[in-house]
């Protein structure tokens, strides 16, 4: 191990002690066989709770995916009082997990499930970041960290994150992901015509269920690293004390390629990152029908902004007119924290959950004060901060066999601050820059409010046909005040076993992120090198849209274990929201197109038989828009004129994306592979061009050794990212809202060890 890695190993250990709560990547924990009546012990899947007398059977998933025998058949020793208590608490929480899943079930929408086993079986396992794992879902495409990391159905941002059904408010970061894959028990990406309980961010909902098999007084510690200076260490532990379950985890990650390399070279210049994450979960059973839960997470990241050597200086500042772009020293820091306290009650057909949540986010971009002036004519020190407090309540009430009434509300207040301290060069009477740098300071602070409420009826017309009809109301008081009443309706039809059709319509209301919609005082930069070519600066508006979605899934019984599906969608938007990086600072700014359409078709297939699991997805999509109607100063006059008279492709749109992968377990060894393909993001004047298509193949192998004990395996793994060392561009530095080129990762070889304890 190099001295560099040793230093960061020590730093990682220290950070874990300081955090106290820890965001771990760990190998799968196999829960002890459990015999409980009328429950499912695996992480809850989204489905409607059975309303008739039929009850689900108890099933316990083993590490290989096979079912374990019932506890009564395999128990070799009498159960202790502590074990009996833990089993009873686990049973109660499992029943409440099922009730919560039914409470927020996305009936009529398109859902793609990813289990804990799925995440652990990817190359790199739970060392895979959340955005990279989501690239294996149909309709999710890759982008650079500066542009949002990923896109769902060709939309920019507009992705909602939920933990155990509770919506997390937006942050302000561009790179950091606060949620670590190690905490995930299962997650579902919900798209299409969303039911009434889902609003605000509507391109997709990532519904994360925390691990449910982590409370057996055990944990794990892991060390993993390899190419590009990558090193990560993590630890987690969970247990049961009386009526309380708890789980804590933490991770340190360091790399010499923290953000995508702007050059095709194997090694990036000035691209170091150091990150820490922590997570805590505590749940206490109050009585047989209710529980109180706390969920908290924190992430802290420091990033060097990578350099692109050989750039030509454009200005003279502080007497410097010749600056080596490889020596620029731009940096960015991000901090995020969230807390959730939820009370859940379930019984007699009446279920509800009420939660308080908050989230604090902070971002600080620090320029190179001389270098940025020499190359760009402006050096911007950007600080963004957001603090959100809110409550969310969801209720479900079963009215006999046929009807389930759902209603709820959410309310939040956000205090945001956006500061931009820029150093610029003044212009003389002829418009030429003068080497006399001056500072300007622009600040915008706002306390904004959001309120949403909904009501819906899930009507089981027959055993095969379900109608879900609802109405949602959203009100925003931010930089712009606006509201909308939004009807939602969908049908789910199961004409035969293994066949499910769904079709739906949703009216959506999407407010801009308050931080990204902060206004800019253009008068401060008049007659300077930061003066825009256009002075129009209308406020950012909420997006309003109509979404139509239809799909089908089919189990192919002629080939046991095979399931295929298709989903098609069409969206018509007014004031379509988009974001872009319009300057050297790695931050996003929002704007609107007057009109836009988004359409696509997604195909998916999974094959699961014994120890073999395969999947494949293909998506064809197109998003176009016309006429910029807010923050017009971000665009050149030529761009504005062209867009006003033409529908253009949005910069984050790709025509074709695909993912393929799977794993095979042979005794205690697991082999895994994954591949992503993209036809290329947009580029050139007004997004009229396309970056070349690309593909990336990853491989992994892991093996469990029973060195300590049979139930405490030692797992070794070896992974290769970008097996063929394909050099491809994600962005080429052109296109709307694109400031610099970014390349996909070069080949990396990584190894690690995980020990259960």
Is the separation of the CB atoms in 236 and 219 below 8 Å?
Answer: yes
Compute the CA torsion angle 694, 696, 697, 699 (nearest 10 deg).
180
| Pick from 507, 727, 617, 686: nearest CA to 153 | 617
CA atoms of 658 and 595, how far apart (whole Å): 28
Compute the CA torsion angle 634, 636, 637, 643 (nearest 10 deg).
-80
Q: What is the CA radius of gyration of the chain?
A: 26
According to the model, what pLDDT value does residue 174 have? Answer: 63
- Could you tell me what percent of the chain has a pLDDT over 90? 79
pLDDT at 42 over 50: no
According to the model, what pLDDT value does residue 536 have? Answer: 95
DSSP state of 88: H
Pairwise pLDDT comparison (57 vs 330), residue with the higher score: 330
Other beta carbons within 10 angstroms of residue 637's beta carbon come to 11
pLDDT at 122 over 50: yes
Is the separation of the CB atoms in 539 and 518 below 8 Å?
Answer: no
- Local structure of 441: helix, strand or coil: strand
| Pick from 461, 392, 483, 497: nearest CA to 162 | 392
Per-residue pLDDT of 268-310, as tens digits, reads: 999 999 999 999 999 999 999 999 999 999 999 999 999 999 9
pLDDT at 18 over 50: no
pLDDT at 11 over 50: no
Where does residue 246 rank: exposed (0-12), middle (13-18), buried (19+ CB within 10 A)?
middle
Is the separation of the CB atoms in 478 and 448 below 8 Å?
Answer: yes
- Local structure of 81: helix, strand or coil: helix
Per-residue pLDDT of 340-393, as tens digits, reads: 999 999 988 899 999 999 999 999 999 999 999 999 999 999 999 999 999 999
Tell me which long-range contacts 62-69 makes (C-beta under 8 A, separation of at least 24).
62/30, 63/28, 63/30, 63/117, 63/704, 64/611, 64/665, 65/117, 65/608, 65/610, 65/611, 65/613, 65/665, 66/610, 68/33, 69/33
Q: What number is the average pLDDT over the span 12-34?
A: 36
CA atoms of 407 and 455, how far apart (whole Å): 4
Per-residue pLDDT of 423-468, as tens digits, reads: 999 999 999 999 999 999 999 999 999 999 999 999 999 999 999 9
Compute the CA torsion angle 571, 572, 576, 581 (nearest 10 deg).
40
Produce one character per residue of 593-632: b if its CB has 16 or more CB atoms within 10 Å, e if not: bbbbbbbbebbbbbbeeeeebbbbbbbbbebbbbbbbbbb
The full set of domains in the chain, from first to last, is: 84-756 (2.40.170.20)
Q: How many CA atoms lie within 13 A of 208 on its CB side?
A: 21
| Pick from 524, 543, 545, 544: nearest CA to 535 | 524
The H or E element containing residue 19 is: helix 3-19
Is the separation of the CB atoms in 331 and 303 below 8 Å?
Answer: yes
Where does residue 73 rank: exposed (0-12), middle (13-18), buried (19+ CB within 10 A)?
exposed
C-alpha 99: how far from its chain's center? 25
Is the separation of the CB atoms in 689 and 682 below 8 Å?
Answer: yes
According to the model, what pLDDT value does residue 296 have? Answer: 95
Where does residue 418 rank: exposed (0-12), middle (13-18), buried (19+ CB within 10 A)?
buried
With a CB cutoff of 8 Å and minimum separation 6, the contacts of 454 are 196, 197, 199, 406, 407, 408, 409, 470, 471, 472, 473
| Pick from 610, 317, 289: nearest CA to 436 | 317
Is the separation of the CB atoms in 305 and 249 below 8 Å?
Answer: no
Where does residue 541 rank: exposed (0-12), middle (13-18), buried (19+ CB within 10 A)?
buried
Is the separation of the CB atoms in 72 and 190 below 8 Å?
Answer: no
Q: Which two tokens stand for residue 10?
A: 């020590």
Q: What number is the average pLDDT over the span 218-235?
A: 96
Which runs of consecutive H residues, i.e. helices, occur in 155-195? none
What DSSP assignment string belongs to 380-414? EEEEEEEEEEEEEEEEEEEETTTEEEEEEEEEEEE
Is the separation of the CB atoms in 247 and 214 below 8 Å?
Answer: yes
Ranking 54-68, 532-546, 589-603 by mean pLDDT, the lowest is 54-68
According to the model, what pLDDT value does residue 77 have? Answer: 58
| Pick from 480, 617, 512, 414: nearest CA to 156 | 512
CA atoms of 656 and 693, how far apart (whole Å): 9
Is the separation of the CB atoms in 421 and 377 below 8 Å?
Answer: no
Q: Are strands 204-210 and 159-163 parallel, antiparallel or unpaired?
A: parallel
What DSSP assignment string belongs to 135-146? TTSTTEEE--GG
| Pick from 421, 398, 534: nearest CA to 103 | 398
Is the separation of the CB atoms in 632 and 675 below 8 Å?
Answer: no
Per-residue pLDDT of 671-684, as tens digits, reads: 999 999 999 999 99
Residue 596 pLDDT class (50, 70, 90 cuts): very high
What DSSP assignment string belongs to 194-217? --TT--SS-SEEEEEEEPSS--SS
With a CB cutoff of 8 Å and minimum separation 6, the contacts of 459 are 402, 403, 466, 467, 468, 469
According to the model, what pLDDT value does residue 91 have? Answer: 87
Q: For residue 8, what are the CA distances in angstroms to 11, 178, 179?
A: 5, 20, 22
According to the model, what pLDDT value does residue 472 have? Answer: 98
Residue 33 pLDDT class (50, 70, 90 cuts): very low
With a CB cutoff of 8 Å and minimum separation 6, the contacts of 519 are 444, 479, 537, 539
Is the separation of the CB atoms in 596 and 628 below 8 Å?
Answer: no
According to the model, what pLDDT value does residue 176 have? Answer: 63
pLDDT at 15 over 80: no
With a CB cutoff of 8 Å and minimum separation 6, the contacts of 506 are 192, 193, 194, 202, 486, 488, 546, 547, 549
Q: What is the mean pLDDT of the chain?
A: 89
| Cα separation of the two ends of the chain | 24
CA atoms of 264 and 547, how far apart (whole Å): 39
Where does residue 676 rank: exposed (0-12), middle (13-18), buried (19+ CB within 10 A)?
buried
pLDDT at 64 over 50: no
Q: What number is the average pLDDT over the span 571-576?
A: 98
Q: What number is the average pLDDT over the span 462-491?
A: 98
CA atoms of 260 and 600, how far apart (whole Å): 28
pLDDT at 614 over 80: yes
Q: What number is the average pLDDT over the span 640-654?
A: 96
């Amino acid at each position: 191990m190099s001295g560099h890695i040793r230093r960061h190993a020590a730093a990682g250990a220290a950070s874990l002690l300081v955090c106290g709560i820890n965001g771990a990547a760990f190998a799968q924990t196999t829960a002890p066989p459990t015999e409980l009546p009328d429950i499912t012990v695996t992480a809850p899947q989204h489905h409607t709770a059975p309303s008739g007398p039929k009850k689900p059977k108890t099933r316990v998933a083993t590490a290989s995916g096979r079912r374990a025998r019932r506890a009564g058949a395999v128990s070799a020793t009498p159960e202790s009082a502590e074990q009996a208590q833990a089993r009873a608490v686990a049973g109660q929480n499992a029943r409440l997990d099922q009730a919560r899943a039914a409470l927020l079930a996305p009936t009529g929408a398109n859902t793609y499930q990813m289990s804990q086993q799925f995440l652990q079986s990817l190359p790199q396992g739970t060392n895979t970041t959340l955005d990279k794992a989501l690239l294996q879902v149909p309709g999710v495409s890759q982008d650079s960290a500066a542009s949002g990391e990923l896109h769902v159905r060709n939309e920019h941002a507009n992705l909602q994150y939920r933990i155990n059904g509770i919506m997390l408010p937006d942050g302000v970061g561009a790179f950091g992901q606060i949620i670590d894959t190690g905490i995930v028990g299962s997650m579902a990406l919900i798209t299409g015509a969303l039911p009434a309980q889902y609003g605000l961010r509507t391109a997709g909902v990532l519904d994360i269920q925390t691990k449910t098999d982590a409370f057996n007084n055990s944990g794990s510690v892991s060390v993993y690293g390899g190419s590009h200076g990558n090193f990560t260490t993590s630890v987690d532990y969970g247990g049961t004390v009386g009526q309380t379950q708890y789980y804590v985890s933490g991770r340190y990650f360091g790399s010499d390629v923290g953000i995508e390399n702007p050059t095709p070279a194997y090694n990036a210049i000035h691209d170091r990152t150091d990150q820490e994450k922590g997570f805590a979960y505590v749940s206490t059973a109050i009585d047989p029908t209710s529980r109180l839960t706390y969920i908290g997470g924190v992430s802290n990241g420091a990033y060097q902004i990578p350099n692109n050597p050989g750039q030509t200086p454009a200005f003279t500042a502080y007497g410097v007119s010749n600056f080596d772009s490889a020596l620029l020293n731009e940096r960015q820091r991000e901090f995020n924290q969230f807390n959730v306290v939820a009370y859940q009650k379930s019984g007699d057909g009446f279920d509800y959950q009420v939660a308080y949540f908050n989230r604090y986010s902070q971002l600080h971009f620090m320029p190179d004060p001389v270098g940025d002036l020499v190359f760009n004519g402006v050096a911007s020190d950007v600080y963004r901060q957001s603090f959100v407090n809110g409550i969310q309540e969801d209720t479900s009430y079963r009215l006999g066999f046929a009807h389930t009434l759902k209603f709820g509300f959410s309310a939040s207040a956000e205090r945001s601050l956006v500061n931009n301290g820029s150093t610029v060069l003044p212009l003389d009477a002829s418009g030429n820059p003068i080497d006399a740098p001056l500072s300007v300071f622009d600040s915008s602070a706002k306390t904004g409010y959001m309120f949403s409420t909904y009501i819906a009826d899930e009507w089981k017309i027959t055993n095969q046909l379900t109608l879900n009809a609802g109405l949602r109301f959203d009100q925003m008081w931010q930089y712009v005040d606006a509201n909308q009443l939004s009807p939602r309706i969908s049908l789910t039809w199961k004409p035969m076993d293994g066949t499910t059709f769904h079709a739906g319509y949703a009216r959506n209301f999407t407010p801009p992120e308050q931080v990204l919609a902060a206004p800019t005082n253009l008068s401060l930069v008049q007659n300077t090198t930061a003066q825009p070519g256009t002075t129009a600066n209308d406020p950012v508006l909420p997006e309003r849209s109509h979404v139509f979605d239809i799909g089908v899934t089919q189990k192919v019984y002629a080939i046991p274990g095979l399931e295929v599906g298709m989903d098609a969608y069409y969206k018509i938007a007014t004031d379509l929201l988009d974001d872009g990086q319009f300057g050297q600072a790695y931050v996003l700014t929002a704007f609107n197109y007057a009109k836009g359409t988004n359409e696509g078709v997604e195909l998916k297939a999974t094959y699961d038989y014994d120890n073999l699991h395969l999947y494949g997805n293909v998506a064809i999509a197109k998003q176009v828009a016309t006429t910029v109607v807010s923050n017009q100063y971000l665009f050149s006059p030529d761009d504005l004129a062209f867009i006003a008279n033409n529908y253009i492709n949005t910069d984050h749109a790709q025509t074709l994306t695909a993912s393929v992968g799977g794993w095979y377990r042979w005794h205690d060894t697991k082999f895994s592979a994954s591949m992503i393909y993209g036809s290329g993001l947009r580029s050139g004047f007004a997004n009229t061009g396309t970056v070349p298509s690309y593909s990336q193949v990853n491989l992994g192998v892991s093996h469990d050794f029973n060195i300590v004990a049979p139930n405490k395996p030692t797992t070794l793994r070896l992974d290769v990212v970008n097996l063929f060392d394909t050099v491809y561009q994600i962005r080429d530095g052109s296109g709307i809202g694109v400031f610099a080129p970014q390349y996909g990762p070069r080949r990396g070889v990584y190894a690690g060890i995980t020990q259960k304890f």
